[in-house]
Amino acid sequence: MRPRVEQWYERAMRVAPATVSSRVDSARLSLRHSWGGPLNGQEGRQRIVRELARAIHFDRVYETGTYRGTTTEFLLAVFECPVFSVEISERFFRYSRARLSYSRRVHLERGDSRSFLQRHATVSETAFIYLDAHWQRDLPLCDELRIISSGWPRAVVMIDDFRVPDDDGYGFDDYGPGKVLEVEILPKAEMDGWQIFYPVLPSAQETGAGRGCCVLASGPMVKAARVASLRPGYL
């Protein structure tokens, strides 16, 4: 759609009931590739996830921020295990539930990412967790990481929209003082033994939206998470 028509469409869908807006969205095939495709359409980021999936046997995958299910569908294809995802917006939840209804391995929930992670946390599994529920005023990232660090001894976490400290070409989210998605805000006191990694690929060579990310590995997972497409950083 042209920009003005797109703006009108979004305004109309925001005031429409979620039962209506989700169905109208489903009729627009272009929305299935929102943000340029899975993981913001970034081939370098997709390579990181594939390498981690080959290097580590994960029991489950968790995603916060389903949005339109584009990345959820990618995670479902890459990992041979159940995928659990949570979305706070009823419109996007309904849309993604219809989109992904073909698979019994995907489990979608509507609600807050923190309570979602708290409910699923278990010490008995190895989990890959993709955190992308940080587009509103409330920034749940630090709370999410505290829950993960105490609930999953064996976890690998990828954070979207994260600042790559020595490559300003990667985009990142900045919600004001104390709310910049960068290493300084992470709850380091609760993450003893964890290791942070950043993409090896320079931003100039990344495709799609070119958003930054980091990968965090708990102590028992650090060695396995040292894949070719990641380089270690400092917490």
Is the residue at 15 inside a domain? no
CB neighbours (10 Å) of residue 193? Answer: 13
Task: Evaluate whether residue 141 is within a structural domain.
Answer: yes
Q: Is residue 136 part of a domain?
A: yes
Classify residue 48: in a domain, yes or no: yes
Are the beta carbons of 131 and 158 closer than 8 angstroms?
yes
Number of domains in the chain: 1
Q: Is residue 60 part of a domain?
A: yes
- Alpha carbon 9 to its chain's center: 26
DSSP per-residue letters across 70-128? HHHHHHHHH-SS-EEEEES-HHHHHHHHHHTTT-SSEEEEES-HHHHHHHH--TTSEEE
Summarised one tens digit per residue, pLDDT across range 16-68 is 787 877 777 777 767 777 767 999 999 999 999 999 999 999 999 999 999 99
161 inside domain: yes
CA torsion, points 58, 60, 64, 65, in degrees to nearest 10?
100
- pLDDT tens, residue by residue, 97-153: 999 999 999 999 999 999 999 999 999 999 999 999 987 678 999 999 999 999 999
Residue ranges making up the domain that contains 184: 31-232
d(CA 86, CA 113): 6
Query: Is 19 among the domain residues?
Result: no
Closest CA to 212 of 178, 145, 164, 149: 164
CATH of the domain at 129: 3.40.50.150
Collapsed DSSP state (helix, strand, coil) of residue 16: coil
Q: Which of 187, 190, 211 is nearest to 199 (CA)?
A: 211
Is residue 8 included in any domain, yes or no? no
- Which pTM does this prediction carry? 0.94
Task: Show Cβ contacts of residue 25 under 8 Å, excluding neighbours closer than 6 positions.
Answer: 13, 31, 68, 91, 95
pLDDT, tens only, 113-123: 999 999 999 99
87 has which bridge partners?
Answer: 110
